[in-house]
Amino acid sequence: MEFPIEVLKRAEKIKLLLLDVDGVLTDGKIILTDKGEEIKHFHVLDGMGIKLLQKIGVEVGIISSRVSQAVIRRAEELSIKLLFQGKVEKLAFYEKVLKEKGLKDEEVAYVGDDWVDIPILKRVGLAIGVPNAWPPVNNYVNYITKCSGGNGAVREICELIIKAKGKWEEIFQSFL
């Protein structure tokens, strides 16, 4: 995939990628069963991208307004330790993470699709939207993925950051 130069420049500085869940790691749909379970669809392509990104030293974290066991399980599968679920006040968590990790706004990328994501999108160095984001969220982003949420958007972002850091060829060759 090809990415605009100005987006690659922002992506080069990224040390932490924070992801919203519904509409970003999934297509936003939730199946509620009679037993009270909540079922979400995650894409295996995204999982692979996250692992590759972690391999080159970029941390990945999850911020979700909804509390879901499926998200806890997915985070465990992908060795994601930075997981926040619950409050709508996502910005407070974002600021806490930055302080704890000693990171600057320009070293963080965030992907969101709904209004609650706008305060963080306005802060980060690399703000990313998805084609399925609800207006006017994408007015606050530096890049809109070609793939939609739950359908490879996160894999696309991982590829962007890996390419920006000049690690793409090395990673890809290791699979040949």
Residues near Mg ion, by CB under 5 A: 20, 22-23, 113-114
Residue linked to tokens 């969101």:
112
CB of 138 to Mg ion, least distance (A): 13
Judge residue 155's burial from the number of C-beta atoms within 10 Å of its C-beta, 0-12 exposed, 13-18 middle, 19 or more buried.
buried
Residue 79 burial (CB count, 10 A): 10
CB of 92 to Mg ion, least distance (A): 17
- Measured CA to CA, the distance from residue 161 to residue 3 in angstroms comes to 10
Walk across the sheet containing 59-64 and list its strands.
82-85, 59-64, 16-19, 108-111, 126-129, 143-144
Is the CB of residue 155 less than 8 Å from the CB of residue 78?
Answer: no
Q: Which is nearer to Mg ion, 63 or 160 (CB)?
A: 63
Q: Which is nearer to Mg ion, 111 or 162 (CB)?
A: 111
CB of 114 to Mg ion, least distance (A): 4
Q: Are strands 108-111 and 31-32 parallel, antiparallel or unpaired?
A: unpaired
Q: Which is nearer to Mg ion, 59 or 117 (CB)?
A: 117
Q: Which is nearer to Mg ion, 20 or 156 (CB)?
A: 20
**Which two three-digit tokens encode residue 144?**
């809109």
CB of 60 to Mg ion, least distance (A): 16
Residue type (1 letter), 105: D
Q: Which is nearer to Mg ion, 74 or 163 (CB)?
A: 74
CB of 133 to Mg ion, least distance (A): 8
